[in-house]
């Protein structure tokens, strides 16, 4: 019934934006679900979990599956399904961060409505997470993880210390441990222009193709390599 509800929800929710839900697995037991999760971990998945999938709460159940999922898929949207409304508190007690909670009452119309609403909320949550991730730069400073707006990143360069990078911001600078070449993969807004520098094109003030020089809004200057001339030209041709 839930698989049917998901197909119906796709039609309803696609009125505003094109959505395509693929039911990659419908498991009938805890062991079957666990086997799938172990062999084919997902990213940003939406999971409908029957709390009583293990039949008894003192056995392995949907809450246990939720904990496993959250560890391997931090952006997972968990939607718990149960026949008992008072089970909702267990999801909060175990800090599973459920995006919704559906109580089965035997009414097909209610189930369709609840599944549609839950999917809408889950899709919105994933979209917001991706937007924040896209527009946020994170780096580790000591034991702390610091987040900042991508718009405040000017450039990142290597230092004389292996794996230590220098982050130049619109408000100053910071150093952190990392690999320069991995930054553009993690943050598509950033572009590597040399072996020692990754830039945020949005904060480049002037481009000198002849001197292979970039001047940033901070007044700093970085040089790009010969092999990156074409990349830089295409990057700034509209400007």
Average pLDDT, the chain: 87
The end-to-end CA distance of the chain, in Å, is 54
* pLDDT average, residue stretch 207-231: 95
Angle at CA of residue 96, ends 49 and 51, nearest 5°: 30
Q: Tell me: domain 137-236, CATH 2.40.50.1020, correct?
A: yes
On the 0-12 / 13-18 / 19+ scale of CB atoms within 10 A, 144 is exposed
- Of 144, 174, 142, give the one whose Cα is nearest residue 156: 174
As a whole number of angstroms, the distance between CA 191 and CA 44 comes to 25
60 φ/ψ angles, rounded to the nearest 5 degrees? -65, 130
| Beta-carbon contacts of residue 184 (< 8 Å; ≥ 6 apart) | 190, 191, 192, 198
38-91 pLDDT, tens digit per residue, is 998 888 899 999 888 866 656 788 888 999 998 898 889 999 988 877 766 666
List the domain boundaries for the chain.
Answer: 2-134, 137-236
CA 38 to chain centre: 20
Sequence-ordered alpha helix ranges (H) in the chain: 2-13, 30-39, 62-72, 88-93, 108-134, 183-186, 229-236
Q: What are the residues facing 49 on neighbouring strands?
A: 80
Q: Judge whether 2-134 and 137-236 match in fold.
A: no
As a whole number of angstroms, the distance between CA 50 and CA 54 comes to 9
CATH code for the domain defined by 2-134: 3.40.50.2300
142-158 pLDDT, tens digit per residue, is 778 899 999 999 999 99
């Amino acid at each position: 019934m839930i698989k049917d509800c998901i197909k119906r929800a796709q039609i309803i929710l696609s009125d505003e934006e094109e959505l395509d839900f693929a039911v990659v697995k419908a498991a009938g037991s805890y062991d079957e679900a666990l086997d799938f999760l172990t062999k084919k971990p997902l990213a940003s998945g939406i999971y409908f979990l029957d709390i009583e999938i293990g039949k008894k709460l003192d056995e392995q159940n949907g809450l246990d599956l939720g904990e496993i999922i959250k560890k391997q898929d931090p952006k997972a949207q968990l939607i718990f399904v149960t026949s008992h409304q008072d089970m909702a508190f267990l999801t909060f007690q175990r800090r599973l961060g459920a995006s919704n909670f559906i109580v089965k009452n035997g009414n097909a119309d209610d189930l369709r409505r609840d599944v549609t609403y839950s999917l809408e909320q889950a899709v919105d949550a994933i979209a917001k997470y991706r937007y924040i991730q896209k527009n946020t730069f994170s780096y580790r400073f000591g034991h702390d993880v610091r987040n900042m707006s991508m718009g405040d990143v000017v450039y990142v360069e290597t230092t004389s210390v292996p794996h230590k990078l220098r982050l130049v911001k619109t408000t100053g600078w910071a150093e952190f441990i990392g690999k320069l070449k991995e930054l553009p993969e993690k943050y598509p807004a950033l572009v590597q222009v040399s072996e020692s520098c990754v830039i945020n094109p949005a904060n480049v003030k002037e481009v000198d193709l002849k001197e292979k020089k970039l001047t940033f809004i901070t007044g700093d200057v970085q040089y790009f390599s010969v092999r990156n001339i074409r990349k830089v030209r295409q990057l700034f041709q509209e400007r």
